[in-house]
Each structure stands twice: as C-alpha cells, then as structure tokens.
A and B are shown apart, each in its own frame.
Chain A
Amino acid sequence: MTTEELKNATVAKSVDARGTACPGPLLEAKKAIGTIKTGDIMEILSADEGTKSDIPKWCSKQGHEYLGAVEEDGFFKVYMKKK
C-alpha cells in the first residue's frame, strides 16, 4: 500500500508503543491483536527503529498481512491487517 492509502485506511485499533523500547512494541501489538477482528487493520506507533523490521517478521510468522510503515515526526506508524 502507498503512504497515502495507509494514511486514509480505516484503523480498528491504534497501539501507542512510543514509550517503550524493544521488545515492548511487539508485546503491546501481541496483546492488542486479540481485541480486533479478522480483516481489521491495526496501527502501531513506535519510536524504536527495530520495530520497523520486527513487525513484518511477526506478521509473516503469525500469518497476518503487513501493510507498510509511515514516517511521522520523531516516530512512525506501522500498519498490519489481522488474518
């Protein structure tokens, strides 16, 4: 998905993990994934650079769809769809 598409996507759940470092964002994403439905999109806010490569790996292991990341001011948003 392009940056524009990601920014306009309907997000079912937003996880703000900016206050925590590795593996915090992953742990928070894992907790939140149980609260959304199949097909829902979740965004994870993180300032930990490692998250950008960790979330895609987590998605492929768990069978979720990784959609992409968008840079913000001092942090970024990672998007994924629950399968």
Chain B
Amino acid sequence: MQETELDVRQLQEQVATLTAKVAALENSRKDQLSIAIVSGDMDKILAAMVISLAAAAMDTKVKLFFSFWALSALRAKNKKAEGKDFISKMFGMMLPKSKDNLKLSKMNMAGMGPVMIKYLMKSQGVLSLEQMFQQAAELEIDIIVCEMSMNLMGFKKEEMIDYPHLSYAGATTFVADAGESAIQLFI
C-alpha cells in the first residue's frame, strides 16, 4: 500500500518535471517569425512584406524589427519633425522619404526602375507597398523600430507613419523575440 503511494508520488514529480520541460521547449520555438530588416531598398522591403503577409495569413505571429536604412520605409510622406541639427537635416534630405520613394537595389536607373516595377506590380495584381502595410496592420503584424538607429540617423518619432502596431525598442528586444521564433530572417 505504502509502495504504491510512493510510486504515485514519484510519477507526479516526473510529470511535473516533464511539463516544465515541454513548456520551456514550446516557448523556445513559438509559431512566430522575426525579421531584422536593415535594408531600405524597395525590392528588399517588398520581399520582407510578402513573406510577413504569407506568414500572418497562416496565423504565424510576425515581428518586424526595422533598423538603419529600412527606417526610410517608415517615414511618413506628409509629416515633419522640428528641432533637428544640421547632420540630421542632411540625412533627412538625402534619404528616401516614405515607402513610395524607395530605390531598387539593382536597376534603379535614377528612379526609372522603381517606376517600371510599380507599373508591372500593378498590372500583375501584386499589392503595392502601401496596400501591404494596410494588410499588415489588419493582420496585426508588429513593427518594432530600432531606437538607436533612429536617433543615429536623426529621425524622430513624430515623422514616422501611423501604424497601429508600432513600437520602439532596442536590439535586446529583437534578440529575445528572435530567440523564441521558429523562423528568424535578416533582410
């Protein structure tokens, strides 16, 4: 009688240990996609958005970490930030303002390339970047802006797009999120 009680207790302990291990394993590989988007080229932002939308359509949680050149894609066309120093103003002027003005990584041809690609995309029923961001918002894709590179390039929060799931964080957030994600990409 006492022996069975002991067995049951041992079993309960084992079950508890296993449950904890399974929980840890589940957390280490969540159904989640993390992308560090560093490039600000139109083609690369497009690729990132297409992959993100496909993942979100499959109910995979998507977290996009935008930093460096990719921040150009998050600048709002009609917003302005005051109180910038000289270098920040220069950066602001020389970098594309908004996702509509991004350059192609190849065949940019002084702006002819993007015009041609946009025409082709439209005629073949590919969503525009603007539409992709709208879909992303509907599918609750998270956009995390790298605070450090934003400050470095002199961008301000008030000139970023209105996006419902936008937040600001540092590299640690990306590393923590990516560590839990089943898929991690760098674009």
Contact = CB atoms under 8 A, between A and B. Distances in A.
B59 A23 contact: no
Given A27-B53, A27-B135, A20 B127 contact: yes
A58 B60 CA distance: 11
B135 A21 contact: no
B83 interface: no
B58 interface: yes
A20 to B, nearest CB: 4
A23 B53 contact: yes
Contacts, number: 38
A21 B125 contact: yes
B: interface residue count bin: 10 to 19
A73 B124 CA distance: 18
A62 B127 contact: no
A22 B127 CA distance: 9
B54 interface: yes
Nearest to A58: B58
Contacts of B126: 20-22, 24
Interface string A39-59: 000000000100000100110
B16 to A, nearest CB: 30
B33 to A, nearest CB: 13
A61 B54 CA distance: 12
Contacts of B87: none
A35 to B, nearest CB: 15
Interface string B133-167: 00100010000000000000000000000000000
A45 to B, nearest CB: 13
B48 interface: no
A74 interface: no
Interface in B35-65: 50, 53-54, 57-59
Given A27-B53, A30-B57, 9 more contacts: A20-B126, A21-B125, A22-B126, A23-B54, A24-B126, A26-B53, A29-B57, A48-B125, A61-B59
